[in-house]
Amino acid sequence: MKRDFIACNALIYNEDRDLIANAKVLDYDSYENSIMIKNIPALDNINRCEVVILTAPTPYVYKGTIYKTAINKAESGKRINLYNENRTDNRKEVRYKINSSAAIDELIYDDKAYHMHTRIEVQLINISKGGARFRSKPNAFVIGNRFHIQIQNGEMSTQLLAEVVNAYSASSEYFEYGCRFIDVDGDRS
């Protein structure tokens, strides 16, 4: 499968893993392994970063170096050279804090998607290459539930396939659910 990040959502973190920007990928150069985004002032004094590119069925995670460049005569942008792709799938993988809304409106059973009558709104807490943690209503899910999670960031939206691997009662008002992303193809190259 050929990688193409154009129009994907990129979450950009500083070296302390604080979210500093959320941008749409305008261009992807597979030869240089770099992405182009609009010029975002928050990135002006940042040289090194970590980038989570939200792609279906699972995100890609990279370290990056940021360069200012021209998009066209009227507009400047940022080119981020990507390196050190995170290929490991284990509990020690880096997690990135995120405070974003998401929704679940399809459950997966026996490899078929079933649309729910009422979508479940969730609050993402963190995300990694292999999974995410979110808050939701108590007892909304059980371990083993599979679903499509729709992550909304501004005008951009990404749908990922996930499975609940752990759950605990964080308070009487909500549960926290740990999920792993499912790559149906098994091929991410």
* Other beta carbons less than 10 A from residue 176's beta carbon: 16
pLDDT at 86: 62
- Sign of torsion over alpha carbons 188, 179, 111, 7: negative
**Position 146 pLDDT exceeds 90:** yes
Q: Give the start-to-end residue ranges of the domains of the chain.
A: 9-83, 96-181
CATH architecture for the domain at 9-83: Beta Barrel (2.40)
Q: How many helices (H) and strands (E) does the chain have?
A: 0, 13
Top pLDDT among 67 and 183 is at 67
Confidence tier at 74 by pLDDT (50, 70, 90):
low
Mean pLDDT score across all residues of the chain: 86
- Give the tens place of pLDDT for each residue, 85-142: 764 344 567 888 888 889 999 999 998 999 999 999 999 999 988 899 999 998 899 9
- Residue 189: pLDDT band by 50, 70, 90 thresholds? very low
pTM > 0.75: yes or no: no
Mean pLDDT of 21-34: 92
187: confidence class by pLDDT, cuts 50, 70, 90: very low
Task: Please give the full DSSP string across 85-128, using - where no structure is assigned.
Answer: -----STTS--EEEEEEEEEEEEEETTEEEEEEEEEEEEEEEE-
Residues 55-76 as b/e (b if ≥16 CB within 10 A, e otherwise) read beebbbbbbbebeeeebeeeee
Where does 96-181 sit in CATH, by number? 2.40.10.220
Domains 9-83 and 96-181 share a fold: yes
* Residue of higher predicted confidence among 89 and 160: 160
Helix (H) or strand (E) holding 13: strand 9-13
Alpha-carbon Rg for the chain, nearest whole angstrom, is 17
pLDDT: is 179 or 184 the higher one?
Answer: 179
What's the pLDDT tens digit per position in 30-54? 889 999 999 999 999 999 999 999 8
- Percentage with pLDDT > 70 across the chain: 89
